[in-house]
A and B are shown apart, each in its own frame.
Chain A
Amino acid sequence: MKGRLQPLWQGGLALLLLALPFATDAALGHGWVRILDFALLYVLLALGLNIVVGYAGLLDLGYVAFFAVGAYCYGLLASPHFDLHWPLWVLLPMGALLAASFGVLLGTPTLGLRGDYLAIVTLGFGEIIRIFLNNLNTPVNITNGPQGVSLIDPLRIGPWSLGQVHHLAGFDIPVVVNVYFLFLLGVLGAIGLSRRLEHSRIGRAWAAIREDEIAAASMGLYTRNLKLLAFAMGASFGGLSGGLFAGFQGFVSPESFTLQESVMILCMVVLGGMGNIAGVVLGAVLLSVLPEALRAAGGLQQDLLGRVWVDPSNLRMLLFGLALVLMMLLRPEGLLPARARQRELHGQ
C-alpha cells in the first residue's frame, strides 16, 4: 500500500506512542495527559469529518451533531438517568451506528446541494440536534435538558474499569493513561479504516465525485448512494468518539456540542490537509494541544518574569484566528496536503 512507513519508523512511532502518556504524566502531570486524551478524541473526530469533506468533497458545518448523538447514546444508556447500565461493547458500536443513521438523515435532503448551500443546511442540522438535546426534557424527560446527563458509568472493558488506578509491574497507571490507550486504539482503528476506504473502489468513487460530479454520474457512479455512504461513514467515527467522550467525562450536556466545535473540527481538517490522514491527525493534535499550551504560557510568565504581562487566555482566539488567516494565505492546501489537493491549488 502507498505511503506505508518503514518498519524501523513504525517501531519508533509505536514506542513513542506507548511512552508518551507516562513521560507526559511524569513531567507535566495528569492534566497534560488529559489534554492528550482529548487530542486523541479530536483526531478521531477529524478523521471522520475528513471522510465527508476530504474524500467526498462535501462541506459539513454540523459535524459535532454526530459526536452529540454518540455521547448521548452512551450517556443515556449507561447512567442513573434511566437506570440503565449497558456495557461499552454494546454502546460504542450502537453509538456509531446511530450516528451513521443520523448521517443518512442529514444527507438525504442535502443531496442536490453543494458548497455554500450544503454548508448552511448542515450548520442548521447541527444546531437542530443541539437544541433538541436542550429541550427534550419536557413533556417527557429524555435528555434532562440543559442540566445534561451526569454520573455516567466510567469506561469499562469486561472486569477492567478504566475509571480507577491500576497497578502493573510496580507501576501505577492512572485513569488518564488507561483512557489514553483506549482512545489510541480507537484512533489507530480509524486510521486503518480510513486508509482502506481511501484506496478502495469506494474511495476512488468519492474522489471522482469530488472532482466532477457530472462526469462521475455519467461513468455509472450512483452519486446519491455514494454521498450518503460518505455521510454515514464519517458520522460513525463521530458517534464512536462521542461514546468515548461520555464515558471519559462522566457528564454530557448540550453546551459541549456548539457550532464552535464543528468549526474547530473543520479547521483541524483544513489546516492539517484535507484528504490526507497524516495531515488531518497533525491538524487535530496541533489545534487541540496548542491552545492549552498557550494557557500554560501565563503561568510561565509568572515564574520567569514575576508577573503576567500578556494574558494568553485573552489572546488565544486572536492567535488562533491569525494562524488560520496566515495558513489560508500561505499554504491553503494544509500543513501535510493530499497530493490531489496540492495539485489543485498550485498547478503542478
Chain B
Amino acid sequence: MVSEAHGAMSPLLEAVGISKRFGGLRALSGVSLRLASGSITGLIGPNGAGKTTFFNVLTGIYKPDEGTLQFAGQPLPAGQPHAVAACGIARTFQNIRLFANMSVLENVMVGRHVRTRAGVLGALFRTAATRREEEAITARALELLDYVGIGAQAARVASTLSYGDQRRLEIARALATDPRLLALDEPAAGMNATERARLGELIRRIREDGTAVLLIEHDVKWVMQLCDRVLVLDYGECIAEGTPQAVQSDPKVIEAYLGMGGA
C-alpha cells in the first residue's frame, strides 16, 4: 500500500504496518501511510473504518499494538500526546473539543503553551521575560484568529461561537502549536456548501504557508477536489491509496462505498 510517488523525497510522516485492537475488534490492521511535506492528504472510508482510531494512534492518544510511526525522520513517541504535539503534529477533533468555558483568545493561547516556557517563578515574580512572552503569546493568538477569519470573536466565550466558527477556532488553536502537520478530523462536518468551500480555501492556504494537512472527511466530492492524495480505509485496512482520480475509479473503493455487488 505504500505509495511510490514520493519515494525519492524522504516523507514528513511515514506510518508502517499500524495495528490496533480493542478486545476482539481489530480497529486497524497493518495500515501504512506516507505523507510528503506541503501535501494535503485525505483519509476516507465508511463509518467504523478506523479513520479516527488512526488519528488517535498518530497523535499519541492510543499506543499502536504493532507498527512504527516516523515523523520528519524521527520515531514518533507512542502514547504521549503532549510529546507528539511538541514534535509538530497538531489535531482537531471530530466532536469538537474546545475549552468551552474559556474565551476564544485563551483557547488559542493555550495552543502556544508548547512553544513557550514561562514557569511558576516567572509567573510569581512577573519578570520582564515572562511579560514579553505573554505579549508575544497574545499577539500570535490574535494573528491566528485573524488568519482563520474569526478575529472579531476573540473576546467571546468559546462555546457561544457558531458551529462553523468553533471548527475554525479548533484549527487556530492547533496552528498555535506551530505544527508541521495538521490533522483535521472531519473539519467540514455539519457545514453547508458555502462554508465547505471557504474551509477548503483555508486549508489550501495553510498548506501554502508550509504546513502539511491530513484530513478525515465523509464528503467524497469535497475531498477529491481538495486533496493531492487519498487513502481509503475499510474495516481497519487500507484498501486503496493514490491520487483522487486513481482512487475514485478503484473497484475496491466503489465496492466499499456501495456495498457488495454494488459496482
> Which residues of A does B touch, CB under 8 Å?
193, 196-197, 200-205, 207-208, 211-212, 214-223, 229, 233, 340-341, 343-344, 348
In the bound complex, residues from chain B placing their C-beta under 8 Å from that of A201 are 113, 116, 118, 123, 130, 133-134, 137
In the bound complex, residues from chain B placing their C-beta under 8 Å from that of A343 are 101, 157, 159
| Cα–Cα distance between A216 and B173 once the two chains are bound (Å) | 11
| Cα–Cα distance between A201 and B121 once the two chains are bound (Å) | 11
Q: Name the one of A205, A212, A220, A348 contacting B177, with C-beta atoms under 8 angstroms.
A: A220
Pair A211/B109 contact, Cβ less than 8 Å: no
Contact with A along B96-130 (1 / 0, CB 8 A): 01111110001001110111101110111010001
Q: Name the one of A197, A208, A211, A220 contacting B123, with C-beta atoms under 8 angstroms.
A: A197
Pair B100/A211 contact, Cβ less than 8 Å: yes
In the bound complex, residues from chain B placing their C-beta under 8 Å from that of A348 are 157, 160
* Given contacts A219-B85, A221-B82, A200 and B59 within 8 Å (CB-CB): no
| Cα–Cα distance between A140 and B123 once the two chains are bound (Å) | 43
Contact with A along B80-92 (1 / 0, CB 8 A): 0110111000110
> Which residues of B does A touch, CB under 8 Å?
59-61, 81-82, 84-86, 90-91, 93, 97-102, 106, 109-111, 113-116, 118-120, 122-124, 126, 130, 133-134, 137, 157, 159-160, 173-174, 176-177
Q: Within the complex, what minimum Cβ distance (angstroms) separates B107 from chain A?
A: 8
Pair A211/B102 contact, Cβ less than 8 Å: yes
Pair B120/A219 contact, Cβ less than 8 Å: no
24 contacts between A and B (CB under 8 A): A196-B126, A197-B123, A197-B124, A200-B123, A201-B134, A202-B119, A208-B113, A215-B99, A216-B99, A217-B61, A217-B81, A218-B59, A218-B81, A218-B82, A218-B84, A218-B91, A219-B111, A219-B113, A220-B82, A220-B114, A220-B115, A221-B82, A223-B82, A343-B159
Pair B118/A217 contact, Cβ less than 8 Å: no
| Cα–Cα distance between A344 and B114 once the two chains are bound (Å) | 27
Q: Name the one of B86, B109, B157 contacting A220, with C-beta atoms under 8 angstroms.
A: B86
| Cα–Cα distance between A201 and B99 once the two chains are bound (Å) | 15
* Given contacts A200-B118, A202-B120, A219-B90, A344 and B109 within 8 Å (CB-CB): no
Q: Name the one of A197, A218, A221, A344 contacting B61, with C-beta atoms under 8 angstroms.
A: A218
Q: Considering only CB atoms, which chain A residue lies closest to B158 in the complex? A: A211
